[in-house]
Structure 1
Amino acid sequence: MKKINNILSIAGTDPSSGAGIQADLKTFSALGTYGASVITCIIAQNTYGIQAIYPLSGDCVTEQLNSVFNDIQIDSVKIGLLCQATTIRVVSALLENHSIPWIVLDTVMKAKSGDQLLAKDDIKILQNKLLPLASIITPNLPEAAVLLGCKLAKNEDQMCLQGRQLLNYGCKAVLMKGGHLISIDSPDWLVTSEQEVRFTSPRVQTKNTHGTGCTFSAAIAALRPRYDNWKQTIEVAKNWLQKAILHADKLHVGQGKGPIHHFYKWW
């Protein structure tokens, strides 16, 4: 019998269920894995944006993580919004003490609406504590520029250069997401010490892209235990994500930027 992998999401919530923990759990289920979750912060948000953020205490996050790790064999971890320095330290310390095969770090700093999600001082702690533990990080272009303290990449050569620079923080691989580039397609670049691989897909004309970044990193975390390498994993994840975006307009959720359609195969 084919094994069903257990994937853990460590992230914040979204009551509209388009992003965050809720989107991660949908992604895990849609891709045939079992999803577990540890909540780092309660967020009041909808398709218009974020209204409030309530970080959970370090003790609360620690107890949740211990509950999972002391009982469930976790095959892969996706890390999303950690919200504050205390949480970053707690998560990094516990991950160091457990043997997790794959750690996918989505370097969430701003919401699609533009809301700031991680303070500037906390970003340095993220760089020093979590990036060295990550199997792969998945920054978009603004996030990569913030991590490096440089200007936004304007073309694919600059994307690859910034990807190589991010490897210096100790992460094993970088997926530079090129959705912010002005281009007819949406190119992403996988950068490791051994290779640089381009992935692309046509842009979809829809406003309903809420939770795309969360979902992409969750899909990578769900699929990595199933495939032999990052190239295969990302190809399958990107293809699935493209279809979820293509079907997004079938849903009618909210008045702003609606979610993508995680369950397009069945609905």
Structure 2
Amino acid sequence: MNNKKYTYPSVLTIAGFDGSGGAGIQADIKTISALGCYATSALTALPVQNTTGVKSIFSIPEKVVGEQIETILEDIKPDAIKIGMVHTSKLVKTITKKLSHSPNLPIVFDPVMVATSGDHLIDKETIEIIIQELFPIANVITPNLDEAAILADMKIENVEEMKIAGKKIMELGCQSVLLKGGHLKTEKLTSLYFLPDGRIESFEFSKYETNNTHGSGCTLSSAIASYLAQRKSLLKAVSLGQNYIHQAIFYGKDVAIGNGNGPVNHFFNPQKLIKNEMDS
């Protein structure tokens, strides 16, 4: 007898590994769980890293990544998908092919190109394939300023240049872009969200004196995906996601974990898994 009466909003993260626990698939799972959703995952790469930087990167065979995604999708249908580290063109094509069988799922793409430590994590020749294949299917992409500078092919040193860069990135075929301004040398942290209808929403937050921001981009994109899984609108999910990472940084800013860029506090206010009634 089947007594199952409810399910949880589910988020699939397709991302790389971080053995130090602050970024990548580990940060995604922590974030998704802390926001009351059920996390599933597919591993794309195995970087050997800690809080001080990336030592090396070992690839996961494309066939294995594809089988991971296919196996999850046939059993636990996600309500949203977060895509993180995708560092080869073959991997991009594998992911987009597998996701083509499950259209209309909200997708958040964090174009992981540069780590917090400054290490480059992506092959240059892959960028063009990412633009062609992943940008069109993602509901929102979340580049930081280093990544945006690569995509827009320009220096970004102030908010006005952020606006120019964001518009350039939108012209690459994006549905919407959240351009994160955490690297600007300003008193306030400013992010700009370029919406599908052409509007630009500005978000401002206080800056904290801390180097505990390892995995902040992974955490933010996973938070947005979690809110999309809860059926929030794009703008609402982006707003709530930024509030979440802002507080996660605040509550983790004074913690000593590792000798480099420490993690944020994903569990500053953990939520119970959200129950969604099943259709009878």
Per the shorter chain, which TM-score range?
Answer: over 0.9
Residue 124 of structure 1 pairs with residue 119 of structure 2:
no
- Correspondence for 1:180 among 176, 180, 183: 183
Offset of residue 235 of structure 1: 1.8
Q: Which runs of 5+ in 2 are unaligned?
A: 271-280
Question: Are residues 158 and 2 of structure 1, via their aligned partners in 2, closer, same or farther at CA, if it must alter by over 3 Å?
Answer: farther
| TM-score (structure 2 length as normaliser) | 0.90
Structure 1 residue aligned with 2:227: 223
The percentage of aligned residue pairs carrying the same residue is: 36
Q: Which has the higher contact order (CA 8 A, sep 6+)?
A: 2
- CA contact under 8 A between 1:133 and 1:170: conserved in structure 2? no
The aligned amino acid for 1:191 is F
Q: Which runs of 5+ in 1 are unaligned?
A: none
- CA contact under 8 A between 2:154 and 2:165: conserved in structure 1? no
The aligned amino acid for 1:212 is S
Q: More displaced, 189-198 or 61-70?
A: 189-198
The aligned amino acid for 1:224 is L
How many residues get paired? 265
Structure 1 residue aligned with 2:171: 168
Q: More displaced, 23-32 or 168-177?
A: 168-177
- CA contact under 8 A between 2:209 and 2:253: conserved in structure 1? no
C-alpha distance in 2 between matches for 1:196 and 1:28:
27
The aligned amino acid for 2:257 is V
Structure 1 residue aligned with 2:266: 262
- CA contact under 8 A between 1:12 and 1:81: conserved in structure 2? yes
- RMSD value, Cα: 1.6
Cα displacement string for residues 133-155 of structure 1 (whole angstroms, at most 9, x for unaligned residues):
1111001112112112x222222
Structure 2 residue aligned with 1:252: 256
Residue aligned with 1:10, SS: strand
Structure 1 residue aligned with 2:119: 115
More helix by share: 1
- Correspondence for 1:192 among 192, 195, 204: 195
The aligned amino acid for 1:264 is F
Structure 2 residue aligned with 1:232: 236
The aligned amino acid for 2:56 is A
Cα displacement string for residues 106-139 of structure 1 (whole angstroms, at most 9, x for unaligned residues):
0110111111111111111111111111111001
- Correspondence for 1:5 among 2, 9, 13: 9
Please give the residue correspondences for 1:1-267 in structure 2 after superposition, counting only pairs within 5 Å. 4-148=8-152, 150-194=153-197, 195-249=199-253, 251-265=255-269
